[in-house]
Structure 1
Amino acid sequence: MFGVRIIDNNWKVGRVGGWFDIAGIAAPQNNVWYHIRIDFKCSIGGYDGLDQYDFNVHINGVEYGDYDFLGNQDAIGVVYMTTGAVFPNYKFYIDAVGYSWNDVYEVGNNKHEGLLLTFDPNDLDYMLLGYDGQHTEIYGDFVLPLDGGEHSITVAGEHDGDLYQSGSLSYSIINMLINSPTSIEYDEPDPGYYPGTYGFESDTHNTNGVAVSMIDEWTGNWGSYLRIHTNDGPLYGHNKYLRISDSQSGGKTTGVHNFDNPQSSGTIEFWLLMSGSGSTGSTNRYNEIHFRKSDNTIAFRAQLKMLEGGHVSGDRADVAYYDGNSWVGFADGEDLTWYHNRIDFDCTSGTKGKYSWYIYEADGTLLGSIIDIDFEYAMITLDEIYFTSTTSHYRGNSFWDAFGFSWNDLYRVGDNMDEGLLLTFDPNDLDYMELLYDSDSTEIFGDFVLPWDEGSHIVQISAEGNGQLYQTSPLSYSIEKIITIESPLEGNYFPTGGHYYGSYSFESDTNGEDPSGWLVKETGGEISVISGFNGHSKIVQMFRTTSTGTMKISNFFSDREYGTLEFYVAPYILENYDIILSHGNPDTGTLVLRFDQDGTIKYFDGSWHQIDENDNFQYSKYIKSPYYYHWFHVKIDFTCDTIIQDGWWDLEIDGKSIGTGYEFNGATPHLSQIDFDIPDDNGLLFVDAIGFSWDSQYSEGNNLEEGLYIEFTSSKSLTWYGYSIENAPPITITSGNLITMPAYGEHTIQIFGEDSYGNEYTSEVRSFFNYYFDESDEVTINRIFFQR
């Protein structure tokens, strides 16, 4: 015995020991069809891939198991389906039950629609279908598999002792050919092609109006450049797109897309690029997009400002929503830049319905958003999208790509954030074409972009045209793991060293560029990330070359009344080097620590004071033989106070307490900024591994030891990454992919990722032997051999 059940909003499998949750599957949803396949084996031989008394479960094409039977049996003779007796008041629906041992059924036939066989009379006592020489009992009308090639069918029956038989009927399904993708594993998508319910890949260049696959209604004039049409790219990274053009001051163009299935709630996503067009003039250039009811009642709308005022100086690429009285801007973009839009709507929320609109840059950074905005007018369902230019605000162009609707079976929210694989086939211009993708299907209009989903996939196309049926053979392909580990390497791994952990350790920053997360002012020289210096890898170099200008890097954080900072600095020559903590005013309420050009270390509380007056600690001896350019580990503990005194701070250098109770320069309610500054000529300073105690991913002392630098790639735009050592709960990856160094020995590591929509991804599990040990690791020498 074995089985599958849904209980307490979880998928469960009946196996040895009882009923258990199926690991790694999302909770089932109401009103969603799930394709379920169960493979089982009772005998010793006869079925490859399973051991005796084992079974596995496939749900929407994903395999779970293998599992042991709940009770061993030599054969399965009954399929038992029940709602159960404990939880009343619900329903479940079943369709298209197929058995692999049926002569007419092949595994996978029920994944897509077939041909309906009807005949009269169809209520005989016994009826037998003959299909290409195979026979099966049927019970009335029957769905034939949609297989390419020539086919022949007959129906025979018996009723009250009388025999019945039809004549033989022959029909054919013409074979189609899938050109791409091919049956290989893909490690990168097709550039410029973005998945969507409508991606315009099937529309030829300059297809206009209702000839466009997405447009159902159109007004305009092609000859007067009042157009809604498709263009071939590439245009800033997008290959096929929809364009709204209006070059007339006395007219406009409009287009409508009618939803095939109006929705009361859902998510709409698309890409948008705006262009001011033209080279002169002060014309304001706007387009609009409305989401509305079929009687033109508007739920919500947005105004796209391609250009305000003149071509050069005017504000460009802004998006505003209508609040019932006026346009309110919520995203300030750039001309000729693609932005990803996501709209969540719910007609039943509030008194009228509500929507939220998010606009993202290509890297996933949020450009602007509005949340839970009331509809302009109430409606039961959202029925259509309305595109329009405006009569007086002409010469602007808006460009659109990859519209994705959450209610489309083949589209998952977030799919169009990344490029996919282009599906091409012949013929691709038939009257009706349907794509089967794993267990989901959707109507397509020609070439189509498949989503970039890791794992194995099967695609098949069925079509009808000119009274003929068409079908491709199923095509299997795979996409490698979205996340791929580059290092540590499999097997023996020798860390390169010099990587010190911090809230900012610069490991992922590009050599020669500014440090990420820091404001750089370098009018007095040059500041950049370099590969390393004196035992530290990936650091910031600050080199002042002139006595004028500024040489400073600044980082801003939320107000802190107390905390700890740790960092490394390495002065190269005797000069003044300042570390300044402030709350925005550089002249008062600050903590100033200086490595002074006289070789001492000083602080400023209104006047300069030497730290360690006995001269027992002078940094000058550390930049000459035998030390040569020592890295100082600096730790500052601070407490701000404006009531008892101005606040105080303590200092440690290289683990030694240098002094306590130093005062700030003036009243200091909080700190919110740190600067590394070279105020004078000819200074050269190196900075590394800056750690903040208020960083949840940093703990005091983390940067005292070297970390393990991990490298990985992702073929999708993910917003969060984590790692797991030895299958422990994932830890967020920060500080330039630097993690705590595992001990000397064998380890496993796995990388986890998540996109902005909550979709989760994992790398493979990487095994490695870490050939790194420090003084705290114990190494045992078992034997030493001497040989002459």
Structure 2
Amino acid sequence: MKRIKLNYLMIFFQLLILISAITLVFPITLQESKIYASETDSLSMSANEITIITPENKTYSNPISDYYPGVYGFENDAPNSNPFGWNTTEAPSTSVNVINEIDNHKRVVHLTDNNAAGYPIINKSIGSRTSGIIEFWIRAGETNRQHYFQISDDANNGIHLYMMQVGNWRYVTTGPVYNIIEAYNANQWYHVKIEFNTTKFHLWIDGVSKDGGAGYDLAGSPTSFKRIAFNTDYGETGANMWIDAIGYSWDSDYNIGDNLNEGLLLSFESNKNLDWMGYSLDGQLNKTILGNTTLPFPSEGSHQIQVFGNVSSGIVYQSEIRKFLIDTTAPTSSILFTLYGDPNIVIKSTAFTIIADDGLGSGISLIRYRINNSGWNDYNSTFDLSNYEDGYYMIYYYSIDNGGNIELENSVLVELIDISSEPSISGYSTPLLIISFCGVIALIIRKKIKN
């Protein structure tokens, strides 16, 4: 009896220990769950502070029109504002403003000058450089007004490039001497590339070398270059000039030639006052940006992009990962069939199969074919020429991918013959009869030789 009571007592103490353990563990588990949920909510909220607008989650067969990549492409500047990152001087009756669009370029700087005693200017310090490359797009509104670009030291020695009021491009050498390069047109965009050092500079306009490789002399003898500037000039009224997509070699995130063609606009929104912004394309290291920017058009295939930003308190925000596809190349297709004979001889039952491949692109949307001058047919399965008479037939075919890229038309010429009209003896095929006939002839010849 005592043993039974002892057993019950031991069971009772064991239950007490178990209940205590549950009581202690459960609040801890619950608290951990709450902390985890709180952290998850915080991360989710941070991810929603930046929203990517473009690129969209779709297939791009072409760049986004009118946006050109550059260190300064002005995409993030509001219309009617001064360009961010540049020193701006606006004399009375002059102006410097970012405008929304002109002549197939979006978000560009517009300088206007209606003051004969002053002029508008944008300039920027570039440190102290002895060599480099700079390129930009420029447009003059007139051929009878001065439009001017310079890279110089503090004493104005360096490169002075004019679209002059006499209608031609000129560069200035010591004297000053205004050397003629060639004529220019009003209201036409020009791509300018300048490669410089402290003794010479090389000039390309729209990709064509103007100095022939020999280089042009400078104005004065600079030992380094300190600033770049765009402006009109004294004595001008009614002058207009536009600047877009400025890029240079001393920015590590810009490659010379990036601004030659339209790119892919990265635009986003944030409800936070971000002190720093950057993006990562395809998981690469972050690149710092001022805000909305134009990227060089990516290569063919699938891509993803993400935008990051932080505030002064150190909190880092990020957008969701945006996926998109670049597909600028048309698919390729081919036609497969078994020859009955050469060259390209087929019969009524010959099956024709068309296959198409889009590589890294968006995939095949449609394959079409036609025979001679018939209407186009959507290809869904193999076809033959069983409803056609003997003769020659041209089969045309092409494919279209999901990005809308259309392949150039392919064609193949075949000769259709009707084998049902070949002579035959019931129960024997023509080839077998021919073989048998040849065998008989051989036996006759052999017998005659023996005799």
Instruction: Report what 1:655 is aligned to.
Output: 207
Q: Distance in 1 between matches of 2:34 and 2:127?
A: 48
CA RMSD between the two structures: 3.7
Q: Distance in 1 between matches of 2:163 and 2:281?
A: 40
Runs of 4+ in 1 over 6 A off after TM superposition: none
Instruction: Report what 2:98 is aligned to.
Output: 529
1:503, 1:735 within 8 Å by CA — same for their partners in 2? Answer: no
Q: Distance in 1 between matches of 2:13 and 2:310?
A: 54
CA drift of 1:535 comes to 1.3
CA drift of 1:667 comes to 2.2
CA drift of 1:754 comes to 4.9
State the TM-score, normalized to the length of structure 2: 0.62
Q: Aligned to 2:197, what secondary structure does the other structure show? A: strand
| 1:745-771 CA-partner distances (Å, limit 9, x unpaired) | 543323344556776544222222446
Give runs of aligned pairs for residues 414-429 of structure 1, distance below 5 A: none
1:505, 1:736 within 8 Å by CA — same for their partners in 2? Answer: no
1:634 aligned to which of 172, 192, 208: 192
Q: Distance in 2 between matches of 1:519 and 1:648?
A: 27
Structure 1 residue 702 and structure 2 residue 240: aligned? no
1:126, 1:139 within 8 Å by CA — same for their partners in 2? Answer: no
Q: Distance in 2 between matches of 1:438 and 1:715?
A: 26
Q: Distance in 1 between matches of 2:222 and 2:202?
A: 15
Q: Aligned to 1:611, what secondary structure does the other structure show? A: strand
Q: Aligned to 1:710, what secondary structure does the other structure show? A: strand
CA drift of 1:143 comes to 7.7
Residues 743 and 146 of structure 1, relative CA distance in 2, 3 Å threshold = closer
Number of matched pairs: 324
Q: Which has the higher contact order (CA 8 A, sep 6+)?
A: 2
Structure 1 residue 136 and structure 2 residue 18: aligned? yes
1:542, 1:685 within 8 Å by CA — same for their partners in 2? Answer: yes
CA drift of 1:451 comes to 12
| 1:592-633 CA-partner distances (Å, limit 9, x unpaired) | 111111111111222233233xxxx311xx23xxxxx22111
Give runs of aligned pairs for residues 141-290 of structure 1, distance below 5 A: 145=27
Structure 1 residue 569 and structure 2 residue 133: aligned? no
Structure 1 residue 520 and structure 2 residue 76: aligned? no
Q: Distance in 2 between matches of 1:531 and 1:145?
A: 60
Instruction: Report what 1:541 is aligned to.
Output: 110
Q: Aligned to 1:580, what secondary structure does the other structure show? A: strand
Q: Distance in 1 between matches of 2:313 and 2:20?
A: 46
Residues 584 and 129 of structure 1, relative CA distance in 2, 3 Å threshold = farther
Residues 452 and 672 of structure 1, relative CA distance in 2, 3 Å threshold = farther
Higher strand share: 1
Residues 518 and 733 of structure 1, relative CA distance in 2, 3 Å threshold = closer
Instruction: Report what 1:737 is aligned to.
Output: 293
Instruction: Report what 1:579 is aligned to.
Output: 149
Residues 572 and 142 of structure 1, relative CA distance in 2, 3 Å threshold = closer
Structure 1 residue 618 and structure 2 residue 174: aligned? no
Give runs of aligned pairs for residues 437-452 of structure 1, distance below 5 A: 438=35
Identify unmatched segments of 5+ residues in structure 1. 1-123, 149-433, 442-449, 456-477, 624-628, 641-646
CA drift of 1:658 comes to 0.6
Q: Aligned to 1:547, what secondary structure does the other structure show? A: coil
2:46, 2:317 within 8 Å by CA — same for their partners in 1? Answer: no
| 1:478-535 CA-partner distances (Å, limit 9, x unpaired) | 6653332111122345754111111111011100000111111111411100111111
Give runs of aligned pairs for residues 336-375 of structure 1, distance below 5 A: none
Q: Distance in 2 between matches of 1:784 and 1:551?
A: 61
Give runs of aligned pairs for residues 550-569 of structure 1, distance below 5 A: 550-569=119-138
| 1:207-257 CA-partner distances (Å, limit 9, x unpaired) | xxxxxxxxxxxxxxxxxxxxxxxxxxxxxxxxxxxxxxxxxxxxxxxxxxx
2:55, 2:324 within 8 Å by CA — same for their partners in 1? Answer: yes
2:219 aligned to which of 658, 665, 670: 665
1:707, 1:739 within 8 Å by CA — same for their partners in 2? Answer: yes
CA drift of 1:576 comes to 0.9
2:277, 2:291 within 8 Å by CA — same for their partners in 1? Answer: no
Instruction: Report what 1:243 is aligned to.
Output: none
CA drift of 1:546 comes to 2.5
Residues 481 and 127 of structure 1, relative CA distance in 2, 3 Å threshold = farther
Residues 694 and 480 of structure 1, relative CA distance in 2, 3 Å threshold = closer
CA drift of 1:780 comes to 4.8
2:77, 2:98 within 8 Å by CA — same for their partners in 1? Answer: yes
Instruction: Report what 1:453 is aligned to.
Output: 42
2:63, 2:297 within 8 Å by CA — same for their partners in 1? Answer: no
Q: Aligned to 2:306, what secondary structure does the other structure show? A: strand
Higher helix share: 2
Residues 764 and 125 of structure 1, relative CA distance in 2, 3 Å threshold = same
Give runs of aligned pairs for residues 396-407 of structure 1, distance below 5 A: none
In structure 1, what residue type is equivalent to 2:223?
P
1:697, 1:734 within 8 Å by CA — same for their partners in 2? Answer: no
Instruction: Report what 2:58 is aligned to.
Output: 491
Residues 681 and 726 of structure 1, relative CA distance in 2, 3 Å threshold = same
Q: Aligned to 2:259, what secondary structure does the other structure show? A: helix
| 1:138-175 CA-partner distances (Å, limit 9, x unpaired) | 47995884999xxxxxxxxxxxxxxxxxxxxxxxxxxx
CA drift of 1:668 comes to 0.4
1:503, 1:734 within 8 Å by CA — same for their partners in 2? Answer: no
Instruction: Report what 2:13 is aligned to.
Output: 127
| 1:702-742 CA-partner distances (Å, limit 9, x unpaired) | 11111111112334444444434444444444684221112
1:607 aligned to which of 176, 180, 183: 176
CA drift of 1:565 comes to 0.8
1:497, 1:706 within 8 Å by CA — same for their partners in 2? Answer: yes
1:499, 1:709 within 8 Å by CA — same for their partners in 2? Answer: yes
Q: Distance in 1 between matches of 2:189 and 2:258?
A: 16
Q: Distance in 2 between matches of 1:562 and 1:631?
A: 26
Q: Distance in 2 between matches of 1:763 and 1:602?
A: 48
Larger radius of gyration: 2
CA drift of 1:678 comes to 0.5
Q: Distance in 1 between matches of 2:309 and 2:133?
A: 30
CA drift of 1:585 comes to 2.5
Q: Distance in 2 between matches of 1:701 and 1:728?
A: 21
Q: Distance in 2 between matches of 1:582 and 1:139?
A: 79
Q: Distance in 1 between matches of 2:265 and 2:219?
A: 39
Instruction: Report what 1:108 is aligned to.
Output: none
In structure 2, what residue type is equivalent to 1:583?
D
Structure 1 residue 482 and structure 2 residue 77: aligned? no
Q: Aligned to 1:603, what secondary structure does the other structure show? A: strand
Q: Distance in 1 between matches of 2:41 and 2:224?
A: 47
1:127, 1:138 within 8 Å by CA — same for their partners in 2? Answer: no
1:505, 1:735 within 8 Å by CA — same for their partners in 2? Answer: no
1:514, 1:528 within 8 Å by CA — same for their partners in 2? Answer: yes
Instruction: Report what 1:674 is aligned to.
Output: 228
CA drift of 1:553 comes to 0.8
Q: Distance in 1 between matches of 2:50 and 2:241?
A: 37
1:495, 1:770 within 8 Å by CA — same for their partners in 2? Answer: no
Residues 138 and 713 of structure 1, relative CA distance in 2, 3 Å threshold = same
